[in-house]
Amino acid sequence: MEKKTCIAMVPCPGHGHLIPLLEFAKLLLRHHSHDFNVAFLIPTVGPPSPSTIAIINTLPSNIHFTFLPPINIQDLHLQSPHPVPQMILTVRHSLPCLKQELSSLSSRTNLVALVLDFFSLDALHLANEFKISSYIAFSSGAAALYFSLSFPKFDESRIFQIRFSFPRTSDVYTAYLSACKKSPLVDGIIVNTFNHLEPEAIRALQQGKELHTPSPSVYPVGPIVAQPKQKSEVDECVAWLNHQPSKSVLYVCFGSGGTLSQEQVNEIAFGLELSGHKFLWVVRVPSEIPNSGYVIGQTEDPIQYLPPGFVNRTKEQGLVVPSWAPQVEILAHGSTGGFLSHCGWNSTLESIVHGVPMIAWPLFAEQRMNAILLTDELRVAVRPQGDEEDGIVKRDEIAKVVKRIMDHSEEGLEMRKRIQDLSDAAAVALSENGSSTKALSCLAHEFLNKSI
């Protein structure tokens, strides 16, 4: 019996990196289900979250998954709690188990390719060992990819500190630089964007413009976002939205693990209340570290950290939910009129696809680049200004930007029109003859050529 052609995919730990890769696999198989099976080999630092398990259980039968044995985070000897070194070191410590799983796959299937997250590139040598092609599934946009490919050739200290605010001696810097240096060694890079969204960055990547190094093939196949669940599967957030007026609710969420200080949480609470607009807020336990919830989840109830009386005072105005909410269903809902976002790339694409203008509130890393794209180039977002002394965005400023995006002003209406145009362009890119569908087809043919 002829072995089925198989593609192995290795995400790094973190919900925001696993989900785009899962959605890419589903998109690939939606168009080429008769050609491939996909096997996910997932490094971990603990048991998968209930939301991850729920998503895994909905996958089609030709997507298989294996959770690699969890790594003890104490064994990573981290200098900082930043997720980048955590993710890279977790993959590195998982390499022996990963090699065993690839060996098993190779014996049972026609294994042709290894698709890695940008922060899983320590596994790149395994593609050579098993004589298969290698690809990066880049979870951010084309501009961030261009920066990453260019980064080792730049004045590393100056550029890195401008963009990411980390010293050259930090473990974050070392981990990021290591991934950047490995990136040009793959056969191709799959990037979750589309031509209309980032035309200049995509063109520069495909032409290898000013990269000063041989560049892999680049496949812009996005926007890849999760599809909303059927109405029968909705939860309390969607049930609440069903009773709100059209475009009346501001959705507030800082990604799958972004966190704010206690003082900033307080100011957001008072700012939302002061704005008078309806809101749906996903609250997390405060932390001075803005990415503290990404790799290891929080267990405390975050509602207790809100200002006294806030939930009761605003019970007719808003809904506060702890830690997690069904974001795609919320953004797709007709009652959602704005999104206060950390500008992570997944959230950015989901907001664009569903035509929801944004309040840009980046926390770290490439989110600042994404915020500039949204506010300055695409003009589909506004950005609040922090206090000059302590950087905290005060309640009056928060109320002001909420009103700018949610009021039926000329500025707000123009933003809605621009983001709806982007949403339409995204649909065209994913249509039968769209640019992203063509790029996906080229990639699939490349996979198949490896199987001959």
Domain locations in the chain?
A: 5-223+432-451, 232-427
Q: Residue 77 catalytic?
A: no
Dihedrals φ, ψ of 136, to 5°? -105, 135
Regions of the chain short of the pLDDT cut 50? 162, 232
Catalytic residue among 15, 82, 93, 117: 117
CATH class of 232-427: alpha beta
Amino acid at 293: G
Report the pLDDT value the prediction gives residue 234, as an integer from 0 to 100.
Answer: 61
Evaluated on CA atoms 253, 59, 345, 93, the torsion sign reads positive
C-alpha 45/C-alpha 318 separation (Å) is 35
Report the pLDDT value the prediction gives residue 294, as an integer from 0 to 100.
Answer: 56
**H-only helix segments in 136-193:** 142-150, 156-164, 171-182
Give the β-pairing of 358-360 and 336-341: parallel
Q: Residue 117 catalytic?
A: yes
What burial letters (b/e) apply to 268-307, b meaning 16+ CB within 10 Å?
Answer: bbbbbbebebbbbbbbbbbbeebbbbbbbbeeeebeeebe
C-alpha 207/C-alpha 14 separation (Å) is 32
Catalytic residue among 15, 17, 93, 277: 17
Asked if the domains 5-223+432-451 and 232-427 are classified in one and the same CATH topology, the answer is yes
Element (H, E) at 23: helix 15-32
At a CB cut-off of 8 Å and minimum separation 6, what does 231 contact?
A: none
Residue whose C-alpha is closest to residue 76's, from 87, 67, 68, 66: 87
Report the pLDDT value the prediction gives residue 24, as an integer from 0 to 100.
Answer: 95
- Give residue-wise pLDDT tens across range 344-362: 999 999 999 999 999 999 9
Coil/strand/helix, residue 443: helix
C-alpha 406/C-alpha 383 separation (Å) is 14
Report the pLDDT value the prediction gives residue 170, as an integer from 0 to 100.
Answer: 78
> How many whole angstroms from its chain centre is CA 334?
23
Coil/strand/helix, residue 322: strand
Report the pLDDT value the prediction gives residue 75, as an integer from 0 to 100.
Answer: 85
Q: Is the peptide bond before 223 cis (omega within 30 degrees of 0)?
A: yes
Report the pLDDT value the prediction gives residue 156, as an integer from 0 to 100.
Answer: 53
Dihedrals φ, ψ of 153, to 5°? -90, -10
Instruction: Answer yes or no: are the C-beta atoms of 14 and 83 closer than 8 Å.
Output: yes
C-alpha 309/C-alpha 66 separation (Å) is 45
C-alpha 24/C-alpha 419 separation (Å) is 23
Stated pTM of the model: 0.92
Degrees to nearest 5, angle at CA 352 with 243 and 191: 140
Which two structure tokens, joined as six digits, stand for 86? 């955590």
Residue whose C-alpha is closest to residue 40's, from 124, 130, 139, 114: 114
Residue whose C-alpha is closest to residue 46's, from 322, 303, 291, 299: 299
| Token pair 């080229």: residue | 442
Query: Domain 5-223+432-451 maps to which CATH number in 3.30.70.360, 3.30.420.40, 3.40.640.10, 3.40.50.2000?
Result: 3.40.50.2000
DSSP state letters, 364-387: STTHHHHHHIIIIIS--EE-----
Which two structure tokens, joined as six digits, stand for 431? 């249509």
Which two structure tokens, joined as six digits, stand for 210? 């000013």
Report the pLDDT value the prediction gives residue 233, as an integer from 0 to 100.
Answer: 55
